[in-house]
Structure 1
């Protein structure tokens, strides 16, 4: 990241309101920057951000989460932030990358809190290595249960074709129905990062329903949190789909008009 982006990143980390330690996990798949907060003896909680966001994006959650957890928040390799892919080549490497991070910070089995694209990674990892996962909380997951709305994909095309801070701002204002930014420091970071190198995300395949059945045995269960008016999908339909196909999952709905659930959900 450039100096201006790094400075904006630091400002969002300060908004966590709790002491934060920064470590780098040098592994065969990636060099991953990880933010850690909370008592090292507490139950570990892995927090995976959405696409285009960073580990710092948990600023609205951190103070509450550290009361009962050791928060482990990595920047995603290939995305904005301070991580970089080394040996990662395909989406099949993502579960191994999660294990690499957990091993690097000394975490065994973890609970996972994941947003959007991060939820795709969390599900892929839990399906491949359920022995490492206590439970999942998925915030407005994309590409897991239903596809994105075509209108949202079309609206994002200019940003994807030529990313810039201005285009990100315009897209986020549309996506949040004018509720952008959720806080000034976060908005500045997101818009500055959008003007940097284009992210190269490795997107897991959308799992088949049978692929998710293994998650029924997670001791802490699976909670799916849906923004009812999210632009990314029909929230009510998504909640029904999950409830009907996976009755063992817990479904929560939030009456919000956007996809930015890390700023709206409180466990």
Structure 2
């Protein structure tokens, strides 16, 4: 019997724990921005630390379908690692490519459950974010969160992609929304999977639990906090998998850039000219749950889907359903 379903379940659990780290990182940012407001770049704390992360990263990447090409695209903020899975025939024709923007600390490897449903249908690009753990590098500081939109735009231009379907998860959803707001002509459609902050702020409970991650106390308290925020058990928090090792190595050895997305105004949402869809988790949502879904619907976003039985790890939990649904959505907006 294949252990692929077990691997997928473990990856989903790890990404749910990662959701807790997203909250912790956003909360910590508010303190860091006051205590150390000077611009800085994301960086590895040591070569040894990067080497240990790279080994873990390569192990996770080996579980993904082999990319057709690997790009390191120069931008004004650093070099961006992009993996390409080309459609049959080199991706030529009327089907526009898809660009995937990852959540914090997860990089391109987070899309492992989803790629198999999309590659072969159209060309897919997945990238590691600038200023975060991964194979991208940062050489110039960000002045504001809007600079995230700039490096994404420069990557798409560098790859000579005139129009694309953009998909973002979690922090990557906030980046995708900001890029679409600033560079709408590049975006044929926008899909936001559990996007943090742009529709609604984080729930108060997430801030309360996250304080335990920074206060002195036993590891059991911190494990409980991660479990409560991520929607998993304490045992799952402590489980070791290639993905959890990669995330731990990144958290331990990479000093990320401290920037928090902002909540868009109604006018900004209504100004987006491209089709927009929003997918929200029914449980342990970090996008704002039902409140965010209601706001998106009131602003004219269509479709807005709240997926039963899902958490912030929604892309992995409903990978099969999203596979066919998003392909139909993209096909409807290829022109």
Answer yes or no: same fold by TM over 0.5.
Answer: yes
Give yes or no for the alignment of 1:38 onto 2:86. Answer: yes
Change (3 A) 1:230 1:106: same
Partner of 1:6: 54
Structure 1: runs of 5 or more not aligned: none
Change (3 A) 1:235 1:70: same
**What RMSD in Å do the two structures reach over aligned CA positions?**
2.7
Q: Greater helix share, 1 or 2?
A: 2
Partner of 1:29: 77
Task: Flag the structure with larger Rg.
Answer: 2
CA–CA separation in structure 1 for the residues paired with 2:267 and 2:277: 18
Give yes or no for the alignment of 1:196 onto 2:253. Answer: yes
Q: Greater strand share, 1 or 2?
A: 1
Partner of 2:264: 207
Tell me the TM-score normalized by structure 2: 0.70
Give yes or no for the alignment of 1:251 onto 2:304. Answer: yes
Partner of 1:100: 154
| Structure 1 stretches of 4+ moved >6 Å | 165-169
Give yes or no for the alignment of 1:135 onto 2:192. Answer: no
Partner of 1:264: 317
TM-superposed CA distance for 1:118, in Å, is 0.7
| Cα contact 1:12–1:57 (8 A) shared by 2 | no
Structure 2: runs of 5 or more not aligned: 1-43, 45-49, 327-335
TM-superposed CA distance for 1:79, in Å, is 1.0
State the Cα deviation string for residues 91-149 of structure 1 (Å, max 9, x = none): 23222111111122221211011001111111111111110000011011111111001
CA–CA separation in structure 2 for the residues paired with 1:170 and 1:142: 22
CA–CA separation in structure 2 for the residues paired with 1:189 and 1:58: 14
Give the number of aligned pairs. 261
CA–CA separation in structure 2 for the residues paired with 1:193 and 1:170: 21
CA–CA separation in structure 2 for the residues paired with 1:108 and 1:236: 35
| Cα contact 2:63–2:112 (8 A) shared by 1 | yes
Partner of 1:59: 112
Give yes or no for the alignment of 1:70 onto 2:123. Answer: yes
- Alignment partner of 2:97: what SS? strand
TM-superposed CA distance for 1:231, in Å, is 4.5
CA–CA separation in structure 2 for the residues paired with 1:233 and 1:131: 26
| Cα contact 1:57–1:262 (8 A) shared by 2 | no
Change (3 A) 1:233 1:92: closer
Tell me the TM-score normalized by structure 1: 0.87
Partner of 2:136: 83
Change (3 A) 1:177 1:112: same
- Alignment partner of 1:58: what SS? helix
| Cα contact 1:159–1:171 (8 A) shared by 2 | yes
Deviates more, 1:115-124 or 1:89-98: 89-98
| Cα contact 1:34–1:75 (8 A) shared by 2 | yes
